[in-house]
Structure 1
Amino acid sequence: MNQPAPIPPPKPNRATQQRLIVPDLARGTALWGIALANASTAWIVNDWTEDHTRAGWSVGGVRPGNLLDEVCAVLAAMFVHVRGLPMFSTLLGFGFGLVAASLARKGYTSKEARRVLLRRYGALALFGLAHMLLLFYGDIMLTYGLIGVLLALMFTLSGKVLRIIAYTILTCFTLLGTLGAAATYFFEDTAAGMDSPGDFASLSAYFAANFRGGLLMLVNQPFAVAQLGALTIIGYLWARERVLIDVAEHRKTLITWTVIGAAVVLCIGLPWGLAAAGVLPPELEMPFYMLNQGFGMFTGPGILAALALATDSLRNEVPAWARAFVALGKRSMSGYLAQSFLFVAIVMPFSLGLAHDAPVSGQLGAGTLVWLITLALAVLLDRAGKQGPFEWAHRHVSYGTTGRIEPKYDRVQIPA
C-alpha cells in the first residue's frame, strides 16, 4: 500500500468540527486511576505488600476490622488496578490513528508519514527512558514510545491482519493469567512481593535505587510492549473506523465492549476485592489478582466505550463538570510526569512522608491528592491558554520549530 488508511473526513456539522471530548476526558480520568494504582504498588511502602499471608496485600493492605480499608480494598480491586493503564494504551492507538490520518490529509505518502511517526514515538521513548532511569522506575512512556515505533512500521497493514495480531496477543496473555491463577490456588504461593522504591533516608539513596530498578524494568519491556501493544492496535483500528467519532453507527461495538469491561469488573474485580477485604476466603486473593492481570486488559476498551456512549449526547460540548478533566487530558504527558515529582515530594520519608506505611485507604488518599494537584495545575494552564510543558517539548522535538504537522501542499478547497 502506498498510503496509510486515513480516517474518513467527517461530515460538516457542528459536533464534528469540535475537538472530541472522549479522549481528553478519558485521559484525565485515567490519570487518577494511574495515580491510585502507583501509590499502592510503587510509592508507598508497608508490611502488607511484602507478606502475602496478610489480608489485602495485593491492594496495599487492609487493617483487620477497619471498614474504611475494607471498602477501599473492594473499590481499588474493581476500579483501580489494571484499569487506567489499559484505557491509556487504547487511547495511545486512537491518537496514533488521528496523527496518521492528519498526515494523509496533509499530503504525506505512507513512507513520509512513517518517518514522522517514527520521530514522534521515538522521542516519546527517549522521554520515557530518562523518566524511568532518573525519577520513576515504573515509567510507561518508554513502553508507549516503543509501541508507537512498532506500529509506525506496520500501520498500513489491513484491519484484518491487525485484528489477528491484537487478539492473538490478548488471548495468550489472558491464558497466562488464568494459568497463573490456577497455579497459585492449587500450589504453594511462591510469588515475590511487589517492587517499591523502598524506605529511603535521602534523595540520593532514592535516585540510586531507582536507577537500578529502572535497569531491571528494561528487561520487561518486550512483554509490556506486546501486551499493551495489542490494546494500542485496537485503539488504532477504532480511529481508522471512526468508532469513537460516529458513536451511533458503532453503538453495537461500543455496547459489546462496555459489557465485556463490566463483566471483568464484576466477575473478577469484585471477588478479588472481597477476598482482599477478608469477606471471602483469603486464599482466593492471589488467584483473582492473577486473573485480573490477564483479563483486566479488556477493561481498557470497555471503559473507553462506556465513556463514548455516556457522552454522546454532549455533541462534544464540554460541560462545566468535565472541564478540569478535559484540561488535564489535553496535558496528559505533563500530568503523568508531574505525578512522579509530586510523589517524591509528598510521600517519601526524606520529604513530607505523607501516608508513609499507610494501608490502602491512606494510599488512595495520597494518590488522589497528587492527582488533584495535577488537575489544578492543568486548569491554570488551560485558562492561560498554554500547553503542558512536556507536550510543548515533545511536539517541537517531533515536528520541528512550529510544533505541528505542516502540510506538504495546500489543498484546493472545493465548495460543498
Structure 2
Amino acid sequence: MTVETKNTGARTAKTGLRTAPRRAGVLPAERALAPDLARGLMLLFIVLSNTAFHLTAARHGPSGWQPVDGGWLDHAAQFTMITVLDLRIYPLFAFLFGYGMMRLFLRQTAAGTSERDAVRLLRRRSVCLIVIGLLHSTLLMAGDIIGFYGVVSLILGWLFLRRSDRALKWWIWIATAQFVLLAAQPVVSALLAGELGSLGDAGAEPGADAYAAGESSWVAAAGTRIGSGLFVTFAAAPLSLVGGAYVVFLLGFWAARRGVLENPGRHLPLLRWTAVIGIAVGWLGALPAALAHVGALDVPDDAQSEGGVLTMLRDATGNAAGLGYVAAVALFAHWWAGRESRGGTRALSAVTAVTAVTAVGKRSLSCYLAHSLLFAPVLAAWGLGLGEHLSSATMALFAVGVWLITVAGAYALERAGRRGPAETVLRRIMYRPGRGSA
C-alpha cells in the first residue's frame, strides 16, 4: 500500500465521509495458514462437543450434560470430552471471531474505507449472523453459537473496533478482572460459609433437555429450540459481557492488530508460553470434573452439577485452554511454512490433509451449518432417531465421520476455486452493490 493510499484512507476516516467498501473480503494470496487451519480444527472440536445432547437414551450425570453410562471406551470418551473440549472450544471460537473481525476492519480502512463505514459493514455482518443463528437454532440445533457471537460482535464492534491500543489494553485488564472476580465470588462465599460441597443443584433439569433432541415431534422440538435459541442469543450473549467473558474477544482484536497469526515467527515466545501454560491450565482445571464424572474422585453430586464448584473450575479455566489451542496451531503453521522454506520435503498426504482442513476453515460457516444438516435429521428422535442407539464412544466416531464429510466437501470446493454457499450469501449481503456506504 502506497503512502498516498494511506493518506487518503486517513483523511476519509477523519472526515467521516461515507464511502463504499473498497475491498470485498480477503484475496486468496493474502490468506494466512494459521487462522484458517485453526478454524478447520475448531469445527472438529465443535462437532465432537455437540454429541452429548444427541444421546437421547443415555443416563446423564449430575452435570446434566455428559452421560454416565456405557463401557470403558465410553468413559474414556467422556473423560476426554470434559478435559479437552467442554467449554474450551467457545473461547477458541471467540478469539478467532474477534481476530477475523479486526482483520476485516483493518483491510477496509487500509484500502480507503472510512472507519465509520468499516464499522457499519461489520454491523451488517453481525445482524446477518444473528438472523442465520436464529434460523439455525429454530430449524435444527438449539445450541447455535452464530447468533450468540452475532450479538456479541455487534456490541463489541461498536465499542472497541476504533479504540486505541492503549484503551484496548486497559479494557482487556478490566474484562479479566471482571471475569476472575465474578467466577471466584460464589466459590469464596461458599468456602467461607463451609458449604463448598453443597454449592450447586444436582437435581436441576439436565441442560441437554434444552436441545429437544429426544422429542419425537419436529414441531414440538422446534418450539423448545426457539426458546433456547432466543435465550442463548439475546440473554446469554449480553450476560457474557457483564461477566467479563468478552476478554477473549478483545484479545483477538489485540492480536489481529499485531498480525500474530499472519506472522507467528515474530511472536514465538508469546505463542510458546501461551500454548504451554494455556493448555496446562485448561486441562488441569477440568481434570477434577472429569475424574469425578468417571467415578475416580468421590465428591458430592452438587459439586459436579452445572452450578457446582468443579464445573465452575472447569469453566473458568476454559479461556486459557482455548487460547492455548490457538497458539499451538500458530506454532504448527510456523513450523510447516519454515520446513518448506528450508527446502524440506513433505509427504503428499500431509500436504493434502493440511490443505483440506484449511479449506474447512475458509468455509467455516458453511461447514458449521452442514454439521447440523448431517446431525439433526439422522440423530434426533423426530428424524431417524439413531442417537437413541449410540453411546458416547460410537457417537464420537459418528461426529468425526460428519466432520470428514465436510472436509471432503470443502476440499472439493477449494480445488474448484469456489467459496462455501453460506459465505457466498453472506458476502453478497455485506458487499451488496448500489449503496453509497458500507
TM-score bracket, shorter-length normalisation? 0.7 to 0.9
Deviation (angstroms), 1:215: 3.1
- Are the equivalent residues in 2 in contact too, given 1:181–1:289 (CA < 8 A)? no
**1:250 is matched with which residue: 238, 245, 267?**
267
Secondary structure in 1 aligned to 2:320?
Answer: helix
Percent identity of paired positions between Structure 1 and Structure 2: 28
Among residues 123, 128, 144, which one is paired with 1:139 in the alignment? 144
1:19-34 equivalences under 5 Å are 19-34=31-46
2:22 — aligned with what? none
What is the rounded CA distance, in whole Å, between the counterparts of 1:100 and 1:396 in structure 2? 17
Q: Does 1:126 align with 2:168?
A: no
- In the alignment, structure 1 residue 223 sits paired with structure 2 residue 245: no
Note closer, same or farther for the CA distance 1:123–1:198 as it changes in structure 2 (3 Å cut).
closer
Contact in 2 for aligned 1:85/1:300 (Cα 8 Å): yes
CA offset at residue 329 of structure 1? 0.7
More displaced stretch, 188-197 vs 133-142: 188-197
Q: In the superposition, relative to structure 1, how do residues 371 and 407 fare at CA in structure 2: closer, same or farther (>3 Å)? A: same
Structure 2 CA distance, aligned partners of 1:169 and 1:200? 39
In the aligned structure 2, how far is the partner of 1:106 from the partner of 1:188? 54
Any idea what the Cα deviations from partners look like across 1:70-109, whole Å, max 9, x if unmatched? 2212211222112222111101111112111111221112
One-letter identity of the residue aligned with 1:235: G
Per-residue deviation, 1:17: 5.5
Structure 1: 5+ residue runs without aligned partners?
5-15, 409-416
SS at match of 2:211: coil
81, 90, 102: which one pairs with 2:95? Answer: 90
1:235 CA displacement: 0.7
TM-score scaled by structure 1? 0.84
Residue 173 of structure 1 corresponds to which residue in structure 2?
A: 179
Q: Deviations over 1:22-77 (max 9, x none)?
A: 1111111111111111221x43334533x51xxx85433343xx221222122112
Equivalent residue, structure 2, for 1:209: 224
2:20 counterpart residue number: none
Equivalent of 1:190, from 177, 182, 201? 201
What is the aligned partner in structure 2 of residue 296 from structure 1?
318
Cα deviation per residue 1:88-132 (whole Å; 9 max; x = unaligned)?
A: 110111111211111122111212222222222222222222223
SS for the counterpart of 1:82 is coil
- What per-residue deviation string (whole Å, max 9, x for no partner) do you get for residues 219-263 of structure 1? 222123555532111111101012222323222221221123222
Relative to 1, partners in 2 of residues 1:198 and 1:128: Cα closer, same or farther, differing over 3 Å?
closer
Matched position secondary structure for 2:266 = coil
Q: Which stretch shifts more, 284-293 or 228-237?
A: 284-293
Letter in 2 for 1:204: V
How far apart in 2 are the matches of 1:371 and 1:228? 28
- Is 1:385 the counterpart of 2:392 in the alignment? no
SS at match of 1:281: coil
> 1:364 aligned to 2:381?
no
Structure 2 residue matching 1:59: 3-state secondary structure: coil
Q: Pick closer, same or farther for the CA change 1:297–1:330 going to 2, 3 Å.
A: same
Q: 1: distance between equivalents of 2:156 and 2:228?
A: 27
Alpha-carbon distance in structure 2 between the residues aligned to 1:237 and 1:216: 29
Partner of 1:235: 252
Pair 1:39-2:51 in alignment: yes
Could you say if the C-alpha distance between residues 162 and 214 of structure 1 is closer, same or farther in structure 2, counting changes exceeding 3 Å? Answer: same
2:59 is aligned with 1:48: yes
Kindly indicate whether residue 76 of structure 2 is the aligned counterpart of residue 61 of structure 1: no
Change in CA separation of 1:357 and 1:158 when aligned onto 2, cut-off 3 Å: farther
The CA deviation at 1:18 is 4.9
d(CA) in 2 for partners of 1:388, 1:89:
21
The worse-fitting range, judged by mean Cα deviation, of 163-172 and 274-283 is 163-172
Residues in 1 aligned to 2:213 and 2:134: alpha-carbon distance in whole angstroms: 21
Structure 2: which amino acid aligns with 1:190? Answer: D
Cα distance, 1:305 vs structure 2: 0.8
TM-score, normalised relative to structure 2 = 0.80
**Structure 1, 72-81 or 365-374: larger mean CA deviation:** 365-374
Alignment RMSD (CA, Å): 2.9
The separation in 2 between residues aligned to 1:181 and 1:339, in whole angstroms, is 37
CA separation in 2, counterparts of 1:118 and 1:212? Answer: 25
Contact conserved, 2:211 with 2:225, CA < 8 A, in 1? no
> 1:199 — aligned with what?
214
Number of aligned positions between the proteins: 388
In 1, distance between residues paired with 2:116 and 2:198?
Answer: 52
Cα distance in 1 for partners of 2:48, 2:94 equals 17
Aligned AA (1:330): K
Q: Shift of residue 179 of structure 1?
A: 4.5
- SS of aligned partner of 1:351: coil
Cα offset for 1:282? 4.2
CA distance in 1, matches of 2:154, 2:374: 30
Counterparts of 2:84 and 2:398 in 1: how far apart (Å)?
A: 17
Closer, same or farther in 2 for the Cα pair 1:74/1:171, shift >3 Å?
Answer: farther
Q: Distance in 1 between matches of 2:337 and 2:220?
A: 51
| Alpha-carbon separation, structure 1, partners of 2:386 and 2:325 | 31
- Are the counterparts in 2 of residues 181 and 288 from structure 1 also a CA contact under 8 Å? no
8 Å Cα contact 1:83/1:300 also seen in 2:
yes
SS of equivalent residue, structure 2 residue 81: helix
The 3-state SS of whatever aligns with 1:355 is helix
- Residue 7 of structure 1 is matched in structure 2 by none
